[in-house]
Amino acid sequence: MCNVCGCGAGETRIDGHLQEEGVRQGRPGDAPTGWRVAHAHGAVHYGHGPAGAQAPGMSQARMLSIEKGILSRNDALAEENRHWLAGRGILALNLVSSPGAGKTTLLVRTIQALQARVPVSVVEGDQQTSFDAERIRATGAPALQINTGKGCHLDALMVGQALGRLAPPAESVLLIENVGNLVCPAAFDLGERAKVVVLSVTEGDDKPLKYPDMFAAASLMLINKTDLLPYVDFNVDKAIDFALRVNPALVVIPVSATTGAGFDAWLDWVGAHLDEARAAARLPAGLAVDGGA
């Protein structure tokens, strides 16, 4: 509840502060708008409350039950991708973070460490430019750039098309670098085996609480740029505590993509998941198609 004016609790806030209920239950004339400016004390915040607009004249029409996930089309395409990858024993990881957390530098070092042992291919997602794919290709690994234009995330259709063009070999590693965005990519399954969220120490240690959806969706959190810890006010224990509040099952590995610190643990994690993906593909058909979460 807003401690200035006592309005109801919501999900997002501006100035850390809550807005009045904009949409009242059961009032047909109450057309909701995208956002509202409310309080005398100048705070604005978006989207909360019951949002229960009632339809006028309900009795004159009939209700048709649908019961279908809004993202069901994306989810179905993601399952196709997962099936395709699982059948070939390919480990696909979806790397997500804010812009500038060091995903591409991390990928470059990871590829350099892995490629003597296992083929690695990369899907790069950015709104514009092919800078990142060029950086990856400089390592010798095949990379495909997807520009989402105005889009804020990769979706399963884009990745499915990328799989067709990249044609990653069986039992290899596919690293998908999502658009730098700690919000939207959380909701879009690409068919990956796991989401890896990268949090860098030049960001706030409270990010897991500020953007909880992504930390809830991830299986692994890499805390990157640990070489800069002496120069920044970032409390690693606090960041880990906050992340585990959101997702008690989250695995955490601190790393530095610049110095290579922590990379043994990260590469071991990749290796263990690759072994699982390969082992699952060698099971009799029907058992192998599950692919894992």
CB 189 within 8 A of CB 77: no
Min CB(178)–other proteins separation in Å: 12
Which residues of the chain form contacts with other proteins (CB under 8 A)?
9, 11-12, 22, 32-35, 46-58, 60-74, 151-153, 155, 183-184, 186-188, 208-209, 212-213, 215-216, 242, 244-249
Residue 3 or 65: the one with the smaller Cβ distance to other proteins is: 65
Sheet with 251-254: strands ordered across:
143-147, 120-126, 173-177, 91-97, 194-200, 220-224, 251-254
Asked if 255 and 103 touch (Cβ cutoff 8 Å), the reply is no
User: In the complex with other proteins, which residue's Cβ is closer, 64 or 116?
Assistant: 64
Q: How far is the CB of 75 from other proteins (least distance, A)?
A: 10
Please say which residue, 11 or 134, places its beta carbon nearer to other proteins.
11
- Please state the closest distance from residue 156 (CB atom) to other proteins, in A: 11
Q: Which residue has the tokens 């299986």?
A: 219
Min dist CB 133 to other proteins, Å, is 23
Name the residue nearer to other proteins (CB basis): 77 or 274.
77
Amino acid at 293: A
The residue among 13 and 83 lying less far from other proteins, judged by its C-beta, is: 13
Distance separating alpha carbons of residues 252 and 161, to the nearest angstrom: 31
Compute and round to an integer the Cα radius of gyration of the chain: 22
For residue 22, the minimal CB distance to other proteins (Å) is 7
Max CA-CA distance within the chain? Answer: 69
